[in-house]
Amino acid sequence: MKPLYLLLILIGRLTLCLMPVQAQKSIAALTDENQAAVRPKKPLSQAIDGRALYTYVERMPVYKNGGRAGLRAFLNKNFQDLPLAGSTSLAVSFVVDKYGKARNPEFFSESVTVPTSFEQKLTRVFEQIGDFQPGIQHGDPVDVRLIVPITKPAQASR
């Protein structure tokens, strides 16, 4: 059974390596809707209180007030007044610690400089965000960094 499993993994990796570059780009583009391809302006921390910080775990954190949709609705509602224009990419990065608390929120974007007043507002909003079910890796709760895109609602044209 184990050799078959290893053979399947090897075939999968070879297929990905031999796949045309355009197909690989298409696969990479198949991310969650509205997921912005943004890079942080400053490096994101890799540990909290000396504990490892994960970006993906076996069971990702879940927002207790409505899951992914509830989290996006909460953030979009609280940041309606952000200076976003057109297809500007802006996201919020934060850590859900092993206790289910949101910590260390930060905005990042390739094309927008976020005013200091919005950075301060981000801190205030995250004090009210509520709890998460923590991420789980190997059966233990762990710290996980989440990145959530902020979208500006389309305005009706007159």
Give the pLDDT band (50/70/90) at residue 5. Answer: low
Residue 14, CA atoms < 13 Å, CB-side half-sphere: 6
| Token pair belonging to 112 | 């927008």
| Cα(65)–Cα(69) distance, integer angstroms | 9
Side chain identity at 157, as an amino acid letter? S
Kindly report, residue by residue over 79-100, the tens digit of the pLDDT.
777 666 555 567 888 999 999 9
| Cα(44)–Cα(102) distance, integer angstroms | 15
Give the pLDDT confidence score for residue 123 in this predicted structure: 84
Judged against a pLDDT cut of 50, whether residue 158 lies above it is answered with no
Give 95: exposed, middle or buried? Use CB within 10 Å, 0-12, 13-18, 19+.
buried
DSSP secondary structure letters along 8-64: HHHHHHHHHHHS-HHHHHHHHH--STT------SSPPPSEETTEEEESS-SB--EET
Kindly report, residue by residue over 105-144, the tens digit of the pLDDT.
888 776 667 777 777 888 888 888 989 999 999 999 999 9
pTM of the entire structure? Answer: 0.63
For 50, 75, 149, the CA distances from 93, given in Å and listed in that order, are 19, 12, 9
Kindly report, residue by residue over 41-52, the tens digit of the pLDDT.
444 446 667 788
Give the pLDDT band (50/70/90) at residue 6. Answer: low
Kindly report, residue by residue over 69-81, the tens digit of the pLDDT.
999 888 888 877 7
Of residues 66 and 83, more confidence is placed in 66
Give the pLDDT confidence score for residue 127 in this predicted structure: 86
Kindly report, residue by residue over 16-43, the tens digit of the pLDDT.
555 554 444 444 444 444 344 444 444 4
